Amino acid sequence: MVAPTLGREARPPRDRKRRSIAGQYFERAPGAGGGVLADALRAAQIATHKGGHHRGEEDYVADGRRHPFAGINAPIGWRTALPDLIGADGRPSGTPQVTRTDETATLRTATIRSSACLAAGTHLLEIPEGELVDMVDGKPVLDDQLAGFDLIRPAPFAPVELTGDEGEVALSDSPIARAQIDRAATEQLAVRFEILRSTLRTNGPDRIESQLLRAIPAGLGVALDGLMLRALSAATADASGDPPTVVHEICGRAGLRWAELACIVGQNSWAPETHGTTLHVSGIHAEHSAGAPHTIVGAWDRCAIAASPEIEVLIERRDASGKLVVTAWCDAQALVPDASYFEEIGADPLA
């Protein structure tokens, strides 16, 4: 669960009309009645180079030292509806004119499906944004939501030795463990690729948008797996090569039921057993992930991933060939309030 509180922190305000990367500024794509990415693709094909920067809404300063930059920004939110690209024959195809309401997928649901950790129960949270409330000596002051992920653990009741009518109750740790969202600790996840002019002419902006809106969450889910698996590997103790021991240790120390555990098998790190159509590691349901070379057993609803509220997409025209360069990125942080609910399995002795 998220427990946001309010505090004040001085940091640069977020300009929703302009974003920056590597010191360069670029404009949002204008609406043309289509999807956000389709509009950005059309606008990027005719974008003009800008060797300068903005100091305000109407204040553009030319700077000959800056590299000429022709780019369009097209941020997409987690609730962006995705098109259905599966045709009647079950193969990827064009976008249908109508998609049933109960079959509509969003960037969020598609990312969860592509992530083994999120599908196993890890929570996906949005990093809250601060609002500009004042300017002090030319510096912005923001009301910033200091949010995090709270894990509610069982209160540790214990017998009390009574002496007469009195007894001493030992002080225990708080049953509430919290992992705070720290913007300075977030990791940036990014991808960059080219779209050739021939592809633009053959498929058109609308179809390419449909394809990108499927490719981005599919890859982002795997990247978020890697973020979480690396964090849990660093937070847990030395890996054990005996999965049955690890599984029973977690249940014993954290008070978990066997059915609450799941295993995420990282890249070539363990060979799970097959039982019919399911995978298992020492009797625990398992699933593969290409995110990172770690195999982690634990209760996945006891952790969370905080991510930017939007996936930033920058589409650039860098030369006269007509090809476009697409860059997508977001910030994310793994939140693990109590690592005792997890354990890393060591190297597979049979591998």
Token readout for 348 is 């597979």
Average pLDDT over residues 163-174: 83
3-state secondary structure of 81: strand
Q: Is the pLDDT of residue 25 over 60?
A: no
| pLDDT score, position 34 | 46
**Secondary-structure percent of the chain, ordered helix, strand, coil, rounded to 5:** 25, 35, 40
Tokens of 271: 């060979």
Helix (H) or strand (E) holding 187: strand 187-195
Among 189, 252, 249, 193, which residue's Cα sits nearest to residue 224? 189
Q: Which of 129, 125, 173, 130 has its CA nearest to residue 149?
A: 125
What residues have CB less than 8 Å from 254, skipping those under 6 apart?
Answer: 299, 338, 340, 341
Residue 342 pLDDT > 50, yes or no?
yes
CB 194 within 8 Å of CB 314: no
Q: Tell me how many degrees the CA angle 223-224-229 measures, rounded to the nearest 5.
A: 100
Dihedral sign (CA 103, 106, 109, 112): positive
Could you tell me how many residues make up the chain?
351
Q: Which residue from 206, 197, 176, 351 is spatially nearest to 281, judged by alpha carbons?
A: 351
Q: Is the pLDDT of residue 350 over 90?
A: no
- In 3D space, the residue among 288, 220, 284 whose CA is nearest the CA of residue 256 turns out to be 284
Name 70's bridge partners.
none
In the numeric block, the tokens 């601060």 are attached to 130
pLDDT of residue 18 exceeding 60, the answer is no
| Cβ-count burial 244-266 (b if 16+ within 10 Å, e if not) | eebbebbeeebebeeebbbbbbb
- Is 63 a residue whose pLDDT tops 70? no
Residue entry with tokens 């946001």: 4
pLDDT band at 206 (very low <50, low <70, confident <90, very high): confident
Q: What confidence category does residue 320 fall into, taking pLDDT thresholds of 50, 70 and 90?
A: confident
Question: Residue 238's pLDDT is what?
Answer: 62
Alpha-carbon span 231 to 214, nearest angstrom: 27
Q: How does residue 9 score in pLDDT terms, banded at 50, 70 and 90?
A: very low
* Four-CA torsion 113, 117, 120, 124, nearest 10 degrees: -70
Is it the case that residue 14 has pLDDT exceeding 70? no
Closest to 47 measured CA to CA, from 73, 21, 24? 73
**Nearest-10 Cα torsion for 220, 221, 223, 225:** 170
Look at residue 332 in the predicted model and tell me its pLDDT. Answer: 97
Please give the model's pTM, rounded to 2 decimal places.
0.79
List all residues 6 or more positions away from 238 whose beta carbon is below 8 Å from its beta carbon: none
Regarding predicted confidence, which is higher, 239 or 344?
A: 344
